[in-house]
């Protein structure tokens, strides 16, 4: 292999680089660029370095040639070819100190260590060399043991820094990956959370979501002493509809009814969901029984206005619903289950009374501290007449 016309030799003894198989092997394989204007000096340095085990010694006779080997001046060199520069101080043209400054100013090379090689008489110029970024120096005439020891220690440090930089880059990469995975996971969780609150057929809230909401509003109503109303909603003669129109039409009908209810029960705190089959449930916070009955009746009328033909209904040629309403001011021994049972019972009575109607059931408050607006509702604890 040649680089910029300079032959690389792979000869080399292991006199001083002991421990083959250890990191010393890696250090022996690291690239050293010798820059010196005198051929005798270059050959001597190369000879000593190779004799003490370094396998990749490159030579340059000027700063310019060195820049070429290092990939400066636009030339492209493989990264990591040169791990250490041995730089002669006194050279015709650009001297070693200026060359050192230029190499250190290059973003790709600022981490490449440079060791100055200088005659004893030039030692005073070393201050400039260190200011230019040199890491160490060695004086001529060259002492073989000293050269080997200095070169080896600088290369060991370079190797440690390379490894550390590599680890840091790797950590950074993994951290980025982890952040990306976390972001995707959160997105997926959010989507799942959303999906797990929706009914698959109708796209409105599912029973679980409505029950969660009801528990939350139950606690809030108990704290604030406000009325909480529940509507139980049933599509009239839905089994007949399915039997005469088919299950696909049945599903479409449920979708239309569900979304019509959602459009009509649209005050900010209201929530409607599918309770199961052709039954829906609505939670109306801060709403006493009479208000809930009004809301329910508007919802019932809006379903009639959908004008979905029902070929087998005993009450109307269109799809209709019956709604049971119950209200409660949570507290004392009352439970959510009592409230739902109350609305269910009202629904049953509404069906018994002929369907396509709203039936008002119980309005119960915890004993002792009914609110002003609720007080009038409390005495009528039994089923009220429907509002059709
Ligand atoms: Mg010289």
pLDDT tens digits, 89-102? 999 999 999 999 99
Range(s) of the chain covered by CATH 3.40.50.2300:
2-169
What integer pLDDT is reported at residue 366 of this predicted model? 63
Catalytic residue among 61, 217, 278, 349: 278
d(CA 68, ligand 1 centre) in Å: 19
- Cα distances (Å, whole numbers) of residue 13 to 26, 27, 30, 47, 52: 15, 14, 15, 11, 6
Q: Is the peptide bond before 141 cis (omega within 30 degrees of 0)?
A: yes
Q: What is the pLDDT along the chain (388 residues), one digit of tens a residue?
A: 333 333 333 333 334 444 444 566 789 999 999 999 999 999 999 999 999 899 999 999 999 999 999 988 776 656 668 999 999 999 999 999 999 999 999 988 999 999 999 987 777 778 888 999 999 999 988 999 999 999 999 999 999 999 999 999 999 999 999 999 999 999 999 888 888 899 999 999 999 999 999 999 999 999 999 999 999 999 999 999 999 999 999 999 999 999 999 999 989 999 999 999 999 999 999 999 999 999 999 999 999 999 999 999 999 999 999 999 999 999 888 899 999 999 999 999 999 999 999 999 988 886 544 444 443 333 333 333 333 3
Ligand 1 centre to CA of 39 (Å) is: 10
pLDDT at residue 226, as a whole number: 94
User: CA 329 to CA 228: how far, in whole Å?
Assistant: 6
- Compute the distance from residue 315 Cα to the ligand 1 centre, in Å: 112
The Cα–Cα gap between 129 and 100 comes to 7
What is the topology classification, in CATH, of domain 207-375? Alpha-Beta Plaits (3.30.70)
**Ligand 1 centre and the CA of 41: distance in Å?**
8
User: In the chain, which segments carry CATH 3.30.70.270?
Assistant: 207-375
Q: Are strands 6-7 and 56-60 parallel, antiparallel or unpaired?
A: unpaired
Ligand 1 center from residue 91 Cα (angstroms):
4
Q: Is 278 a catalytic residue?
A: yes
Residue 24: predicted pLDDT = 65
Ligand 1 centroid to Cα of residue 336, in Å, is 96
Q: 195 C-alpha vs ligand 1 centroid, how far in Å?
A: 77
CA of 63 to the centre of ligand 1 (A): 11
CATH of domain 2-169: 3.40.50.2300
The fraction of the chain above a pLDDT of 70, given in percent, is: 86
In tens, the pLDDT along 293-339 reads 999 999 999 999 999 999 999 999 999 999 999 999 998 888 999 99
């Amino acid at each position: 292999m040649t680089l910029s016309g300079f032959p690389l030799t792979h000869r080399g003894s292991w006199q001083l680089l002991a421990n083959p198989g250890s990191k010393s092997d890696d250090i022996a394989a690291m690239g050293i660029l010798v820059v010196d204007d005198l051929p005798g000096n270059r050959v001597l340095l190369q000879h000593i370095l190779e004799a003490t085990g370094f396998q990749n010694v490159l030579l340059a006779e000027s700063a310019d040639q060195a820049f070429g080997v290092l990939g400066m001046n636009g030339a492209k060199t493989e990264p990591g070819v040169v791990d250490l520069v041995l730089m002669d101080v006194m050279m015709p043209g650009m001297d070693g100190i200026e060359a050192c400054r230029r190499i250190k100013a290059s973003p790709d090379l600022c981490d490449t260590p440079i060791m100055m090689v200088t005659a004893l008489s030039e030692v005073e110029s070393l201050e400039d060399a260190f200011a230019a970024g040199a890491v160490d120096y060695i004086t001529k005439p060259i002492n073989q043991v000293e050269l080997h020891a200095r070169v080896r220690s600088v290369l060991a440090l370079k190797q440690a820094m390379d490894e550390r930089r590599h680890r840091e880059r790797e950590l950074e990469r993994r951290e980025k990956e982890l952040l990306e995975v976390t972001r995707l996971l959160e997105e997926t969780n959010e989507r799942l959370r959303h999906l797990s609150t929706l009914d698959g057929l109708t796209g409105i809230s599912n029973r679980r979501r409505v029950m969660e909401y009801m528990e939350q509003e139950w606690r809030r109503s108990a704290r604030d002493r406000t009325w909480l109303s529940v509507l139980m909603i049933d599509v009239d003669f839905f089994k007949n509809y399915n039997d005469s129109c088919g299950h696909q039409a049945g599903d479409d009908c449920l979708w239309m009814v569900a979304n019509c209810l959602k459009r009509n029960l649209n005050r900010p705190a209201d929530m409607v969901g599918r309770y199961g089959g052709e039954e829906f449930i609505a939670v109306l916070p801060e709403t006493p029984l009479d208000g809930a009955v009004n809301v329910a009746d508007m919802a019932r009328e809006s379903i009639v206005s959908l004008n979905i033909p029902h070929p087998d209904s005993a009450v109307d040629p269109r799809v209709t619903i019956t709604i049971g309403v119950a209200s409660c001011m949570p507290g004392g021994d009352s439970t959510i289950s009592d409230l739902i049972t109350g609305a269910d019972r009202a629904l049953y009575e509404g069906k018994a009374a002929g369907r396509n109607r709203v039936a008002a059931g119980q309005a119960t408050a915890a004993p002792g501290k009914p609110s002003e607006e609720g007080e009038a509702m409390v005495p009528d604890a039994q089923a009220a007449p429907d509002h059709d």
